[in-house]
Homo-oligomer: A and B are copies of this chain.
Amino acid sequence: MDRHPVELLIEKADTAINREDFDTLMAIYAEDAVLVVKPGLEARGRDQIRKAFVAIADHFGHSLAVEQAGLVVLEAGDTALVLARTVVSATTLPPTVRNATYVFRRDPGAGWLCAIDNSYGHDLMIQDEG
């Protein structure tokens, strides 16, 4: 079965994160995208998101590695919801699986772009309920 274009973009984003290639990474996000940096902390827009990724790379001593252990795409017109098992690891972090949720939007010019990047999935709610 052909892979969904959004799946290829996520693969590209993971490679870019692992290489700290932030130019390639930022091209995958919508101008008004939101990234959940950690529960309770959000980065909004490409500038803030780039700064967050730079800080995260630094925090993990440039050893952060991200990959997807599984992924489902639900598409409705120009909107796609991705449910993923995202595995993050670093020298100071044993491989950790997150039930991530991503939302992509199809732009008439730019094609699919990530609008919402929430690798914490429902773990956000624990913080919210606290």
A interface residue numbers (CB < 8 A to B): 30, 32-34, 36, 42, 44, 70, 72, 74-77, 79, 81, 83, 85, 99, 101, 103, 105, 115-116, 118, 121-122, 124-125, 128-129
Contact = CB atoms under 8 A, between A and B. Distances in A.
A70 B125 contact: yes
A103 B32 CA distance: 16
B128 A103 contact: no
A70 B128 contact: yes
A99 B122 CA distance: 7
Q: Which 9 A-B pairs have the closest CB atoms?
A: A32-B77, A34-B76, A76-B115, A99-B122, A79-B115, A81-B116, A76-B116, A81-B103, A72-B128
Nearest to A102: B81
Contacts of A105: 79
Contacts of A33: 76
A30 B78 CA distance: 11
A75 B115 CA distance: 9
A61 B104 CA distance: 37
